[in-house]
């Protein structure tokens, strides 16, 4: 595995009994590398504030992520400014290495889970992944509908069901 573009290793032995705060910021080279990784035109800022505390299963990190970036329209390639302002909760859990070790059970309302090995957790990579999850996967510029229409692509409203599907719809409405 290659090193992440935005790595901020934080040693577990630096996390005391209480809560500690850690702030991280991606520099210009890291933002450019993350832009390439996530297919963005640019990332102007990427910052995260973590509040870390230990618990029985690992480390809980709660905090806030801020990013200013530019995505490209999936239809026109027009630049689209975007921002991410996201509170997060992440649980860093040690990766099990022995076949007989118990698995950690987490309920659906628990934190996102990130596994780690060794004596550090990577706060930078966790921030990068949090940002990526908040991006619009199919950003569209105001011109997108016009360009698609000119290319002959019908909108969902304009598309009619095929005859086979139309018959199925009739059967379903009779039940």
Q: Averaged over 91-100, what is the pLDDT? A: 78
Q: Averaged over 70-88, what is the pLDDT? A: 96
Q: How far is CA 56 from CA 53, 94, 107, in A?
A: 10, 11, 15
CA atoms within 13 A on the CB side of 89: 4
**How many other CB atoms are there within 10 angstroms of residue 89's CB atom?**
13
Q: Is the pLDDT of residue 111 over 50?
A: yes
Averaged pLDDT of the chain: 87
Q: Averaged over 71-75, what is the pLDDT? A: 95
Could you give the percent of the chain with pLDDT greater than 90? 64
Asked if 87 and 54 count as a contact pair (C-beta separation under 8 A), the reply is no
């Amino acid at each position: 595995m290659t090193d992440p573009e935005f790595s901020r290793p934080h040693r577990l032995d630096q996390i005391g009994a209480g809560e500690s705060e850690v702030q991280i910021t991606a520099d210009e080279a890291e933002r450019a590398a993350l832009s390439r990784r996530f297919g963005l035109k640019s990332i102007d800022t990427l910052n995260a504030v973590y509040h870390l505390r230990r618990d029985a299963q690992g480390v809980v990190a709660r905090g806030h992520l801020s990013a200013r970036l530019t995505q490209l329209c999936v239809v026109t390639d027009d630049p689209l400014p975007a921002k991410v302002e996201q509170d997060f909760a992440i649980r860093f859990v040690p990766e099990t290495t022995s076949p007989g070790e118990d698995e950690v059970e987490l309920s659906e309302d628990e934190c996102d889970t990130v596994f780690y090995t060794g004596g550090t957790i990577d706060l930078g990579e966790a921030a990068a992944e949090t940002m990526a999850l908040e991006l619009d996967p199919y950003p569209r510029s105001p011109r997108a509908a016009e360009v698609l229409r000119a290319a002959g692509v019908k909108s969902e409203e304009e598309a009619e069901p095929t005859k086979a599907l139309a018959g199925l719809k009739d059967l379903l409405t009779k039940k």
